[in-house]
Protein backbone atom coordinates (compact mmCIF):
# COMPACT_ATOMS: atom_id res chain seq x y z
CA UNK A 1 0.00 0.00 0.00
CA UNK A 2 1.32 3.41 -0.97
CA UNK A 3 1.70 5.95 1.83
CA UNK A 4 -0.25 8.53 -0.18
CA UNK A 5 -3.00 7.72 -2.68
CA UNK A 6 -4.30 10.22 -5.21
CA UNK A 7 -6.67 9.68 -8.12
CA UNK A 8 -4.61 10.46 -11.23
CA UNK A 9 -7.64 11.55 -13.25
CA UNK A 10 -7.56 13.05 -15.77
CA UNK A 11 -10.26 15.48 -14.68
CA UNK A 12 -11.88 17.84 -17.16
CA UNK A 13 -14.42 20.50 -16.11
CA UNK A 14 -15.92 23.64 -17.65
CA UNK A 15 -14.69 27.08 -16.71
CA UNK A 16 -16.35 28.42 -13.56
CA UNK A 17 -16.95 24.97 -12.04
CA UNK A 18 -15.96 24.02 -8.51
CA UNK A 19 -13.17 21.46 -8.53
CA UNK A 20 -12.53 18.97 -5.75
CA UNK A 21 -9.21 17.12 -5.54
CA UNK A 22 -8.51 14.52 -2.88
CA UNK A 23 -5.81 12.38 -1.31
CA UNK A 24 -5.81 9.66 1.31
CA UNK A 25 -2.85 8.55 3.36
CA UNK A 26 -1.89 5.74 5.66
CA UNK A 27 0.86 7.20 7.86
CA UNK A 28 -0.69 8.69 11.00
CA UNK A 29 2.58 10.52 11.71
CA UNK A 30 1.95 12.99 8.90
CA UNK A 31 1.32 16.45 10.34
CA UNK A 32 2.06 18.82 7.45
CA UNK A 33 -0.09 18.74 4.33
CA UNK A 34 0.62 20.54 1.09
CA UNK A 35 -0.78 20.99 -2.37
CA UNK A 36 1.60 21.67 -5.22
CA UNK A 37 0.67 22.75 -8.72
CA UNK A 38 2.79 21.60 -11.65
CA UNK A 39 2.46 23.06 -15.11
CA UNK A 40 3.70 21.07 -18.08
CA UNK A 41 7.49 20.90 -18.25
CA UNK A 42 7.85 22.89 -15.04
CA UNK A 43 8.78 22.02 -11.47
CA UNK A 44 6.07 21.83 -8.78
CA UNK A 45 5.19 25.06 -6.99
CA UNK A 46 3.58 25.26 -3.56
CA UNK A 47 -0.08 26.25 -3.60
CA UNK A 48 -1.32 25.55 -0.08
CA UNK A 49 0.33 24.52 3.19
CA UNK A 50 -1.65 23.24 6.21
CA UNK A 51 -0.58 22.02 9.61
CA UNK A 52 -2.68 19.32 11.30
CA UNK A 53 -6.46 19.28 10.84
CA UNK A 54 -8.75 22.04 9.68
CA UNK A 55 -9.39 24.33 6.75
CA UNK A 56 -7.30 26.99 5.10
CA UNK A 57 -8.49 29.41 2.46
CA UNK A 58 -6.47 31.46 0.00
CA UNK A 59 -8.46 33.28 -2.64
CA UNK A 60 -10.24 30.73 -4.80
CA UNK A 61 -8.43 27.82 -3.15
CA UNK A 62 -9.46 25.99 0.04
CA UNK A 63 -7.51 23.16 1.62
CA UNK A 64 -9.13 20.78 4.10
CA UNK A 65 -7.48 18.20 6.31
CA UNK A 66 -9.36 15.46 8.18
CA UNK A 67 -6.75 13.57 10.17
CA UNK A 68 -9.32 11.22 11.72
CA UNK A 69 -10.14 9.94 8.24
CA UNK A 70 -6.62 10.42 6.85
CA UNK A 71 -8.11 12.44 4.04
CA UNK A 72 -7.20 15.79 2.53
CA UNK A 73 -8.92 17.90 -0.10
CA UNK A 74 -8.28 20.91 -2.28
CA UNK A 75 -11.23 22.91 -3.60
CA UNK A 76 -10.93 25.39 -6.45
CA UNK A 77 -13.82 27.83 -6.86
CA UNK A 78 -14.60 29.68 -10.08
CA UNK A 79 -12.06 27.58 -11.93
CA UNK A 80 -10.12 29.25 -14.75
CA UNK A 81 -8.35 27.82 -17.82
CA UNK A 82 -5.09 28.96 -16.19
CA UNK A 83 -5.76 26.46 -13.39
CA UNK A 84 -5.17 23.65 -15.88
CA UNK A 85 -2.21 21.73 -14.46
CA UNK A 86 -1.29 18.66 -12.47
CA UNK A 87 -2.07 18.98 -8.77
CA UNK A 88 0.11 17.04 -6.36
CA UNK A 89 -0.68 16.45 -2.72
CA UNK A 90 2.31 16.07 -0.42
CA UNK A 91 2.78 15.47 3.26
CA UNK A 92 5.43 15.11 5.91
CA UNK A 93 5.82 14.17 9.52
CA UNK A 94 6.74 16.25 12.56
CA UNK A 95 10.26 17.44 11.92
CA UNK A 96 9.52 17.20 8.19
CA UNK A 97 12.37 14.87 7.49
CA UNK A 98 10.68 13.43 4.42
CA UNK A 99 8.23 14.90 1.90
CA UNK A 100 5.99 12.23 0.33
CA UNK A 101 3.96 12.99 -2.79
CA UNK A 102 0.78 11.57 -4.25
CA UNK A 103 0.59 10.51 -7.88
CA UNK A 104 -0.86 13.82 -9.03
CA UNK A 105 -4.22 14.64 -10.64
CA UNK A 106 -4.18 16.11 -14.12
CA UNK A 107 -6.82 18.86 -14.33
CA UNK A 108 -8.10 20.61 -17.45
CA UNK A 109 -10.44 23.61 -17.28
CA UNK A 110 -12.29 24.06 -20.56
CA UNK A 111 -13.19 27.62 -21.66
CA UNK B 1 15.51 35.85 -4.90
CA UNK B 2 17.01 33.42 -7.39
CA UNK B 3 15.32 30.03 -7.59
CA UNK B 4 16.72 26.53 -7.69
CA UNK B 5 18.90 26.14 -10.76
CA UNK B 6 19.31 22.84 -12.56
CA UNK B 7 21.27 21.79 -15.61
CA UNK B 8 21.03 20.48 -18.17
CA UNK B 9 17.31 20.88 -18.98
CA UNK B 10 17.29 17.91 -21.33
CA UNK B 11 19.56 14.92 -21.87
CA UNK B 12 19.33 11.96 -24.22
CA UNK B 13 21.73 9.06 -23.70
CA UNK B 14 22.02 5.45 -24.70
CA UNK B 15 21.53 2.71 -22.14
CA UNK B 16 24.66 1.77 -20.23
CA UNK B 17 26.07 5.28 -20.64
CA UNK B 18 26.62 7.56 -17.68
CA UNK B 19 25.04 10.95 -17.00
CA UNK B 20 25.32 13.67 -14.36
CA UNK B 21 22.90 16.35 -13.26
CA UNK B 22 23.75 19.51 -11.39
CA UNK B 23 21.71 21.53 -8.89
CA UNK B 24 22.33 24.88 -7.26
CA UNK B 25 19.85 25.45 -4.41
CA UNK B 26 18.50 28.72 -3.13
CA UNK B 27 21.14 30.55 -1.12
CA UNK B 28 20.97 29.69 2.57
CA UNK B 29 18.82 26.60 2.17
CA UNK B 30 20.31 23.81 4.24
CA UNK B 31 18.11 21.00 2.92
CA UNK B 32 18.44 19.70 -0.63
CA UNK B 33 16.32 16.98 -2.24
CA UNK B 34 16.62 14.98 -5.45
CA UNK B 35 13.36 13.53 -6.76
CA UNK B 36 12.66 11.26 -9.70
CA UNK B 37 9.38 11.88 -11.52
CA UNK B 38 8.36 9.28 -14.08
CA UNK B 39 5.75 10.42 -16.60
CA UNK B 40 2.27 10.34 -15.07
CA UNK B 41 3.54 9.78 -11.54
CA UNK B 42 4.28 11.92 -8.52
CA UNK B 43 7.86 12.77 -7.52
CA UNK B 44 9.71 10.02 -5.68
CA UNK B 45 12.43 11.01 -3.24
CA UNK B 46 15.84 9.65 -4.18
CA UNK B 47 18.02 11.40 -1.62
CA UNK B 48 17.78 14.18 0.95
CA UNK B 49 20.76 16.18 2.23
CA UNK B 50 20.95 18.33 5.33
CA UNK B 51 23.92 20.61 4.64
CA UNK B 52 26.42 18.09 3.24
CA UNK B 53 25.15 15.09 5.19
CA UNK B 54 22.68 12.49 3.91
CA UNK B 55 19.36 12.38 5.80
CA UNK B 56 17.54 9.82 3.66
CA UNK B 57 18.73 7.76 0.69
CA UNK B 58 16.56 4.72 1.27
CA UNK B 59 15.07 4.82 -2.24
CA UNK B 60 18.29 5.58 -4.11
CA UNK B 61 19.38 2.63 -6.30
CA UNK B 62 22.89 2.70 -4.97
CA UNK B 63 24.25 0.19 -7.48
CA UNK B 64 23.88 2.78 -10.23
CA UNK B 65 22.95 6.13 -8.67
CA UNK B 66 25.20 8.35 -6.60
CA UNK B 67 24.86 11.88 -5.28
CA UNK B 68 27.05 14.30 -3.45
CA UNK B 69 26.74 17.74 -1.98
CA UNK B 70 30.17 19.18 -1.48
CA UNK B 71 30.51 22.09 0.93
CA UNK B 72 26.77 21.91 1.65
CA UNK B 73 25.79 23.97 -1.40
CA UNK B 74 25.71 22.60 -4.96
CA UNK B 75 24.85 18.98 -5.61
CA UNK B 76 25.36 16.48 -8.40
CA UNK B 77 23.38 13.33 -9.12
CA UNK B 78 25.01 10.67 -11.27
CA UNK B 79 23.67 7.57 -12.99
CA UNK B 80 26.13 4.93 -14.15
CA UNK B 81 25.20 2.85 -16.07
CA UNK B 82 21.80 4.12 -17.17
CA UNK B 83 18.87 1.82 -17.87
CA UNK B 84 15.79 2.43 -20.00
CA UNK B 85 13.63 2.68 -16.86
CA UNK B 86 15.69 5.65 -15.67
CA UNK B 87 13.92 7.82 -18.25
CA UNK B 88 12.24 10.47 -16.11
CA UNK B 89 12.42 14.06 -14.95
CA UNK B 90 14.94 14.58 -12.16
CA UNK B 91 13.85 17.38 -9.86
CA UNK B 92 16.02 19.18 -7.37
CA UNK B 93 14.41 21.07 -4.48
CA UNK B 94 15.69 22.99 -1.49
CA UNK B 95 14.26 24.29 1.77
CA UNK B 96 15.32 26.08 4.90
CA UNK B 97 15.56 24.25 8.17
CA UNK B 98 14.39 25.64 11.50
CA UNK B 99 14.78 23.95 14.85
CA UNK B 100 11.51 22.10 14.37
CA UNK B 101 10.97 21.45 10.71
CA UNK B 102 11.83 22.11 7.12
CA UNK B 103 9.92 24.94 5.54
CA UNK B 104 8.48 25.08 2.04
CA UNK B 105 10.41 23.13 -0.57
CA UNK B 106 11.20 25.10 -3.75
CA UNK B 107 11.70 23.11 -6.92
CA UNK B 108 13.86 23.65 -9.95
CA UNK B 109 12.53 23.09 -13.47
CA UNK B 110 14.03 19.64 -13.61
CA UNK B 111 16.23 17.70 -16.02
CA UNK B 112 14.33 15.53 -18.48
CA UNK B 113 16.36 12.37 -19.13
CA UNK B 114 15.61 10.03 -22.01
CA UNK B 115 17.47 6.73 -22.15
CA UNK B 116 17.32 5.02 -25.54
Distance CA A10, CA B16 (A): 34
Distance CA A93, CA A71 (A): 15
Mutate to test the interface with B, among A99, A103, A105 (most CBs of B within 10 A): A99
Confidence of residue B102 (pLDDT cuts 50, 70, 90): low
* Higher pLDDT, residue A12 or A94: A12
In SS3 terms, A29-50 reads as CEEEEEEEEECCCCCCEEEEEE
Residue A25 forms contact with B (CB below 8 Å): no
Give me the pLDDT at residue B98, please.
63
Residue A45 forms contact with B (CB below 8 Å): yes
Cβ-defined contact of A100 to B45 (cutoff 8 Å): yes
User: Looking at residue B63, what DSSP letter applies?
Assistant: T
Q: What mean pLDDT do residues A65-81 have?
A: 96
Using DSSP bridges, classify how beta strands B111-115 and B10-13 pair: parallel, antiparallel or unpaired. Answer: parallel
Distance CA A72, CA A63 (A): 7
Checking if the pLDDT of A96 tops 70, the result is: no
Give me the pLDDT at residue B79, please.
98
Residue A7 forms contact with B (CB below 8 Å): no
Amino acid sequence: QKEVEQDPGPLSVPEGAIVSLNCTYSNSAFQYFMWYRQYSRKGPELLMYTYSSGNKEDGRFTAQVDKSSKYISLFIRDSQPSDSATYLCAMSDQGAQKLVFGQGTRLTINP
Amino acid sequence: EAGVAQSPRYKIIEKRQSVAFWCNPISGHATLYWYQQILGQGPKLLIQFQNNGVVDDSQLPKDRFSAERLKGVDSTLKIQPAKLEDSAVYLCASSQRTLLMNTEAFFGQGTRLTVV
